[in-house]
Amino acid sequence: MFSALKAALPGCFRRGRVLAVLAVLTAGLLLFPGAVPNRVGHLGSLLEAFLPWLGLVVVVLSALALLRRSALALVALTLPVAAWAYQFGGLLLPGPGAGSGELVVVQHNVSDTNREPAATARELARAEPDLLALEELVAEDLPVYERTLARDFPYHAVRGTVGLWSRYPLAEVRRLDIKPRAVEEGWRRALRAEVRVPGGAVAVYVAHLPSVRVGAGGLASSWRDESAGLLGKAIGAERLRRVVLLGDLNGTVDDRGLDPLTSRLGVARRGFAFSFPARFPVARIDQVMARSATVRHIRTLPATGSDHLPVAARIRLG
């Protein structure tokens, strides 16, 4: 009976079974990336870092299905198309119009090898943010940033290699210890400040998590993950209701390594804003997150002398 049914099917439904299986697997990865284990080489985090790019796999499979004239594969491809739209389609929608009670923030890793700190500072100020967070500030360039940004930002604080510039008064600024145990002393890459915006205070965190590396053994992210856990605990203990986190987190919001943060904070509802590497951005590792507030839209700004692109976001305070 089965052979008779198979013979009765048009050829276009008998061809492309391998493509159909690949389409179903792609849909499964898009919807359930957590099923890929992290025990070996942090492969799950590696997949999640580039999860939106599975859309290119769908494009390739679609082209092959058309070449094979496989209706079976084309029907199966509706699954990963729907899965990608479910996961990322909202990010493609235009951002909502500016509203009252919003903060405009800019986050940028300016790079410790940036040869144009003054031009970088001017470019960032051109976006007219209320808050500006910078990482990889080196001692010789810090006076340049302070001098160039002084007119637009009357308040600022720097701790270690991270800094926050603000149009509103700062209070209770302190350094945060998010150093992984294996890292040498003197590693200072996070701060917390209270920003007194109209309508009340907001706790603003600026952080630069350890870098990750992709090699033959997979993704080396243990230090990043440990640092994210320490930062998540600090934010979880924050006494102020409203919290904003700005930073180079060396991970995407889909990466389970940042779960200590994304489980506590909301992320952007609109915009991809791939920020790294600047010459051909493939992922957004520069993040803006918030608690008791909504990150409404995130976008990239023009390139500076850094290997990262700056990102700007609008935050509606709840």
Question: How do residues 41-68 score in pLDDT, each as one tens digit?
Answer: 899 999 999 999 999 999 999 999 999 8
Amino acid residing at 200: G
Instruction: Please check whether residue 110 is in contact with residue 117, taking contact to mean a CB–CB distance below 8 angstroms.
Output: yes
Q: C-alpha distances in angstroms, 34 versus 23, 30, 39, 86, 120?
A: 18, 10, 12, 16, 38
Structure confidence by residue, pLDDT tens digits, 235-251: 999 999 999 999 999 99
Tell the residue number behind the tokens 């493939």, with chain if given. 282
The percentage of the chain sitting over the pLDDT mark of 90, rounded to a whole number, equals 85
Q: What sign has the CA pseudo-torsion 45, 60, 309, 269?
A: negative
Structure confidence by residue, pLDDT tens digits, 254-313: 999 999 999 999 999 899 999 999 999 999 999 999 999 999 999 999 999 999 999 999
Instruction: Please check whether residue 292 is in contact with residue 241, taking contact to mean a CB–CB distance below 8 angstroms.
Output: yes
Q: Above 70 in pLDDT, residue 185?
A: yes
Q: Above 70 in pLDDT, residue 207?
A: yes
pTM over cut 0.85: yes
| Average pLDDT along the chain | 93
Q: Above 80 in pLDDT, residue 216?
A: no
Q: Above 60 in pLDDT, residue 9?
A: no
Q: Above 80 in pLDDT, residue 13?
A: no
Angle between helices 17-31 and 78-88 (to 10 degrees): 20
Q: 134 Cβ partners below 8 Å, 6+ apart?
A: 108, 109, 110, 124, 145, 162, 163, 164, 165, 206
Residue 228, token pair as written in the block: 């994210």
Report how far residue 303's alpha carbon sits from residue 160's, in angstroms, rounded to the nearest whole number. 24
H helical segments located in the chain: 2-8, 11-14, 17-31, 43-49, 54-68, 71-76, 78-88, 117-125, 142-149, 222-236, 259-262
**How sure is the predictor about 79, in pLDDT bands with cuts at 50, 70 and 90?**
very high
Report how far residue 39's alpha carbon sits from residue 19's, in angstroms, rounded to the nearest whole number. 29
Best CA proximity match to 68, nearest among 15, 9, 11: 15
Give me the mean pLDDT over the 116-143 stretch. 98
Q: 188 Cβ partners below 8 Å, 6+ apart?
A: 159, 160, 161, 162, 175, 179
Q: 225 Cβ partners below 8 Å, 6+ apart?
A: 257
Q: What sign has the CA pseudo-torsion 294, 300, 302, 306?
A: positive
